[in-house]
Structures are given as structure tokens and as C-alpha cells.
């Protein structure tokens, strides 16, 4: 297929690179021409900072920009014959409705600009405004991954919320752990086997079945000891967060005993 990439951020870059293996990326747009040129240079494509100059006969136009810019870009696009999709978790399909064929092509992963990823294991979630467009998007997705899911805009939004907890907030907790280790004069690498095993465990078991730690055992002595240390370190906000989440875990794992 002939594909136009609109955007030059993390998702646009990873997606363009993966699609470029099997398709022809005919143009890359960014409102900053330099960013368009950087991505276009990587995949032997053309760069533009003018939406009106995009090729009019591509098969698919992929809008991969910040969530709050998707709607504006869609409106500014000229009338096009191809399929217009966006890649945003929290934006409904309807913002693209001015285009006869439109949909969503949401690769569900956390992307870092300078870190290569094996796209074949990344789920791609698709939605389309008609069955023909849906089939085209399935074909496109199947060229880069074996994991294709058809989900509605509402499901996608809820999935996005779940990802905020399982990825963004989890990473924030890694950060909190690191900040405590720095105060203890210990290296973060100490935590890596534990972090890996925690992620690994939920491949085979539901998270609630493998919950461990003082809160799940209702070990009040240890919880109180930890709270006191955090307070002594001047980390009152952390202590409050620790107490709150511990309470939730204890309630979840001890509700049967009440």
C-alpha cells in the first residue's frame, strides 16, 4: 500500500519504520519540517510541513500526533480518497467522520524514540466506519503483527486507562523506588530481578492471585515500620500514598476473613 504518515513523534516513528518494511511510505508530514525530514530520511520518504501538499492518492493516511491535535489535523486535511486513521487511545473514531473511509489503528505499546521494538508482538487495535475499511486495516495490521484486535472507541478508551495504571503509573512507582534507593545509597539495579519477576508472574496468573508483600499478609508491624521510615525521611506524601495503597491491598486480600 501507499501510506502517508502525519506526525513524527515516538508512535509515528516506530509505526513508519515497521510499515516501511512491507509498504511504500510516500510522504511524512510534521508541522516542523526538520522533524518530518528526520523521519523521512530514515525511511527514504519525502517530507512536508504542509497538509495541502500531501499526495492525494495514497491508500492510507495515518494521523499519529498528540491526542488533542488529531481533530484539528483531520479538519485541515483536504478531501482524500484513501482511508484516514488515527493512532490515539483516547480519541473516538468520530473525529474523523468528515472522511468517507476512516478508522483507528492503535498500536498498544509504550514507545521510546531511540529504542527498537519487535513490532510482531505488539497488539494493534483497529476500528473502522465500514466493513471494507475494516478489512483493509486488518490487512495492513497483519503485515506488521500477528496480534490484531477489533475494539470499539469506548473499549479503546478503557484500555487506555488500564494502560495508564499498568505502564505510566507503574513506571512512576519504579521512579519512587529509585528515589528511596538513592537515599539508601543503593543501586537501582538491585530491583531489576524483582521488577522483571513481578511482570513475568502475571503472564501465567491473575495479578490478584500473585499479590505478595506486607499489606497482603496484613502484616501491620511492617507496614507501620515502613510508614515511620518514610516520615522520618521527610517523605510525608509518599507515606500517605503507601498507607492508602496498602489499605486497599489489605482490604482486597483479607475481605474474606472479615
Grid cell, residue 57, equals 492518492
Q: Least separation, in Å, of the C-beta of 14 and a copy of itself?
A: 11
Grid cell, residue 183, equals 537515599
Q: Least separation, in Å, of the C-beta of 116 and a copy of itself?
A: 12
* Nearer of residues 98 and 194 to a copy of itself, judged by Cβ: 194
* Nearer of residues 26 and 177 to a copy of itself, judged by Cβ: 177
Q: Least separation, in Å, of the C-beta of 102 and a copy of itself?
A: 20
* Nearer of residues 100 and 214 to a copy of itself, judged by Cβ: 214
* Nearer of residues 62 and 239 to a copy of itself, judged by Cβ: 239
Strands 2-6 and 60-63: parallel
SS3 50: coil
Grid cell, residue 11, equals 508512535
Q: Least separation, in Å, of the C-beta of 68 and a copy of itself?
A: 5
Grid cell, residue 62, equals 495515518
Grid cell, residue 105, equals 489503528
CA–CA distance, 246 with 238 (Å, rounded to integer) = 12
39 within 8 A of 16, measured Cβ to Cβ = yes
* Nearer of residues 2 and 188 to a copy of itself, judged by Cβ: 188
26 within 8 A of 106, measured Cβ to Cβ = no
How long is the chain?
Answer: 258
Grid cell, residue 88, equals 490515539
* Nearer of residues 53 and 245 to a copy of itself, judged by Cβ: 245
* 3-state SS string for 62-82: EECCCHHHHHHHHHHCCCCCC
Amino acid at each position: 500500500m501507499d501510506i502517508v504518515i502525519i506526525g513524527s513523534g515516538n508512535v509515528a516513528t516506530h509505526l513508519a519504520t515497521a510499515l516501511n518494511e512491507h509498504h511504500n511510505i510516500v510522504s511524512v508530514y510534521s508541522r516542523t519540517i526538520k522533524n518530518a525530514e528526520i523521519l523521512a530520511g530514515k525511511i527514504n520518504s519525502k517530507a512536508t510541513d504542509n497538509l495541502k501538499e500531501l499526495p492525494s492518492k495514497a491508500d492510507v493516511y495515518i494521523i499519529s500526533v498528540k491526542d488533542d491535535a488529531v481533530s484539528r489535523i483531520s479538519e485541515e486535511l483536504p478531501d482524500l480518497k484513501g482511508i484516514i486513521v488515527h493512532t490515539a487511545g483516547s480519541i473516538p473514531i468520530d473525529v474523523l467522520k468528515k472522511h468517507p473511509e476512516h478508522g483507528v489503528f492503535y498500536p498498544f505499546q509504550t514507545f521510546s524514540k531511540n529504542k527498537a521494538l519487535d513490532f510482531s508482538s505488539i497488539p494493534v487495535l483497529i476500528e473502522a466506519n465500514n466493513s471494507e475499511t475494516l478489512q483493509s486495516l486488518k490487512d495492513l495490521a497483519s503485515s506488521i503483527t500477528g496480534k490484531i484486535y477489533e475494539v470499539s472507541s469506548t473499549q479503546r478508551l478503557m484500555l487506555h486507562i488500564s494502560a495508564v495504571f499498568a505502564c505510566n503509573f507503574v513506571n512512576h512507582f519504579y521512579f519512587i523506588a529509585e528515589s528511596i534507593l538513592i537515599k539508601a545509597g543503593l543501586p537501582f539495579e538491585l530491583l531489576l530481578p524483582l521488577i522483571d519477576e513481578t511482570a513475568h508472574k502475571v503472564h501465567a496468573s491473575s495479578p490478584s492471585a500473585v499479590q505478595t508483600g506486607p499489606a497482603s499478609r496484613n502484616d501491620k508491624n511492617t507496614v507501620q515500620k515502613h510508614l515511620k521510615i518514610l516520615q522520618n525521611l521527610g517523605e510525608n506524601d509518599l507515606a500517605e500514598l503507601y498507607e492508602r495503597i496498602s489499605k486497599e491491598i489489605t482490604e482486597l486480600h483479607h475481605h474474606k476473613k472479615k
